[in-house]
Amino acid sequence: METNLERWRYFLKDMESPELFIDWGFYSMIATALQRRVWLYPDTFTLYPNLFVILIGPPAAGKSRIISQINEFIRNPKLIRKVPGKKKNKVEIQPFYPLSADTITQEALIQYIVRECGRDFFYQNEGKRVRASHFSVGFMIEELGVLLRKNCENIVNMLNQLYDSRDFTYKTKHQGTDAIKNVCVNIVAGTTPAFIRTAFNAEIISQGFTSRVIMVYGDGPRFLRQFPGVSDEQKTAKEKVVDHLAKLQKVNGPVALSDECEAFHKEVYESGQLTQQRVNMDHRLDTYYGRKNVHLLKLSMIMHFMDTTDSMVVEKVSMERALRFLAHTEIRMHEAYVTGGRNSLAGIQRRVLEHIINSNKAVPYKRLWLTFVDDLSKDDLDQCIEFLLATDQISKDASGFRSLVEQPTSASDYL
C-alpha cells in the first residue's frame, strides 16, 4: 500500500458499499481537511477544493456506512487541539475540521459557522508571511432529506452561494443580520433516487444546485460479506490516513498548476472535451457538464494533496486521474434520476450496454434478442435500445449496434 487511497480501501476492504461510494468518500474527506486554506487562481476567479457529493442508491446500498466512516476519521482524537477557553484558565477542545450536526436548521447552521468554525492560518505570499482567516465546515449527512426537509428552496439558494465560497448574509426577523465571510462548505450526503425525483424539481435544478453536485450512483452492495473484524494491518492503514489528515492542517496558501498540467488543461478545456465529448448524453446532466471544468480543477487539487503536503504545484498526472475518474462516475450518473421509478429497465439497460461493449464489434439485433429473451420482452428490448441510442451510449449501422463508451470493471481502472 503506497497511497492513502489504497490504505483507505484496505481498511474498508470488507465493507459492502460500492467502490464508487468508497472512493468518493475518501476524496470528500480530503476536501474537508483542506478547507478554505488552499486555492487556485488567486488573482482571477479564486477556486477552493470543496465538494458537494451525494451518494445515491436504494436502501441498504451502503451509503450510510461510508459516511459514518468519514465521520469517524475526521473526529479522530489526533485531529483536535487545545485552545484557551472563554473563561480564565480554562482550556477548550477544538476540532481541526468542524462538522455540522446531522439535523440543523438554516438559522442554527449559520450561527454555528460564525461562532464555532472560524480559524486563523498563515501562508507565504511573495516571501512574506500573511495571516488570514476562514470559516469552513463539513456536512456528513446520512440522509439528504434531513437537511432539505424544510424551506428546501431557501437552503438550496444558500448552499449555491456557500459552494462558490462567496460571502453570505442572512437576515432574521428577531436576531438581526448574520454575515459569513471567507466561508467554505463540504458536503457528502446519502439519499435515494426517489428523493432526488421528489426534491429536485425543475425550479431547483435551474438554480444551479445540481450543477454543483457530484451525483454518485450505486445500485447495491458490491458483495455480501459477514464482517470478519478489523485486523492489525487495517488499523495501521487507518492510522496512516489519519496522520496524513493531521498533516494537511498545516497546508496553507495558493496552489498553481505545473506548466505541463496547465497545457493539458488548456487543451481539454478549449477543445470542448469537457462539455462536448460526453460519456453520458442524458439531458438531466447538462447543468453538471456545464460546470465540469470547476469539478475537474477541484478534484485535481484534492488528488494532488491526498498523498503530499510538501508541494503546492498540481502536476499533470493528478488532472489526468481526476478526468478519468469523473468520466467513470458519469457513466451511471443519470440513473440517480431514473432508477426505481420512471425507468424500471435501468438494470437491464446496463447489461445490454455491457454486452455490446464486451463484444468489441457490432452486435446484430437478433443476437441481442436471443441473448436477453429470457429477461425481457421484445418491446422492453426495443425501449432499452432506444434509450441507449438517445443518450449516445451506442450507435447503429447496417452491421448492428456498437458501443460509444468504455466501461471499466472497477473504479481502480480509472486511477
Q: What pLDDT, on the 0 to 100 scale, is given for residue 174?
A: 63
pLDDT at 71 over 70: yes
User: Domain boundary at 255, 285, 317, which?
Assistant: 255
Phi, psi of 324 (to 5 degrees): -65, -40
Q: 338 lies in a domain?
A: no
* Same domain, residue pair 98 and 227: yes
pLDDT tens readout for residues 89-113: 677 889 999 998 776 777 778 888 8
Mean pLDDT of all residues in 318-330: 96
The number of folded domains in the chain is 2
For the ranges 35-39, 103-107, 255-259, 315-319, the lowest mean pLDDT is seen at 103-107
Q: 274 lies in a domain?
A: no
Cα–Cα distance measured from residue 304 to residue 308, given in angstroms and rounded to the nearest whole number = 7
CA angle 374, 193, 284 (to 5 degrees): 95
* Same domain, residue pair 213 and 83: yes
User: Domain boundary at 255, 276, 295, which?
Assistant: 255
With a CB cutoff of 8 Å and minimum separation 6, the contacts of 375 are 348, 351
pLDDT band, residue 151 (cuts 50/70/90): low
Cα–Cα distance measured from residue 61 to residue 15, given in angstroms and rounded to the nearest whole number = 11
* Same domain, residue pair 239 and 367: no
User: Domain boundary at 255, 278, 296, which?
Assistant: 255
Q: β-strands 80-84, 91-95: how paired?
A: antiparallel
Its domain, for residue 66, covers 4-255
* Same domain, residue pair 361 and 251: no
Q: 182 lies in a domain?
A: yes
CA atoms within 13 A on the CB side of 44: 3
Q: 180 lies in a domain?
A: yes
Cell readout for 181 is 465571510
Cα–Cα distance measured from residue 256 to residue 40, given in angstroms and rounded to the nearest whole number = 6
pLDDT tens readout for residues 121-130: 999 988 899 9
* Same domain, residue pair 225 and 370: no
* Same domain, residue pair 100 and 224: yes
> In this structure, are residues 59 and 192 in contact, taking their beta carbons and an 8 Å threshold?
yes
Q: 100 lies in a domain?
A: yes
* Same domain, residue pair 230 and 350: no
pLDDT at 375 over 80: no
User: Cβ atoms within 10 A of the Cβ of 252, count?
Assistant: 20
Q: 409 lies in a domain?
A: yes
Cell readout for 93 is 477542545
* Same domain, residue pair 250 and 349: no
Q: 38 lies in a domain?
A: yes
Cα–Cα distance measured from residue 87 to residue 217, given in angstroms and rounded to the nearest whole number = 48
CATH classification of the domain holding 369: 1.10.10
Q: 278 lies in a domain?
A: no
Report helix angle 292-305 to 19-34, nearest 10.
80
Cα–Cα distance measured from residue 240 to residue 232, given in angstroms and rounded to the nearest whole number = 13
User: Cβ atoms within 10 A of the Cβ of 138, count?
Assistant: 26
* Same domain, residue pair 132 and 229: yes
User: Cβ atoms within 10 A of the Cβ of 377, count?
Assistant: 10
Nearest to residue 243, comparing CAs of 301, 309, 187?
A: 309
CATH classification of the domain holding 60: 3.40.50
pLDDT tens readout for residues 251-263: 999 999 999 999 9
For the ranges 37-46, 229-238, 318-327, 342-351, the lowest mean pLDDT is seen at 342-351
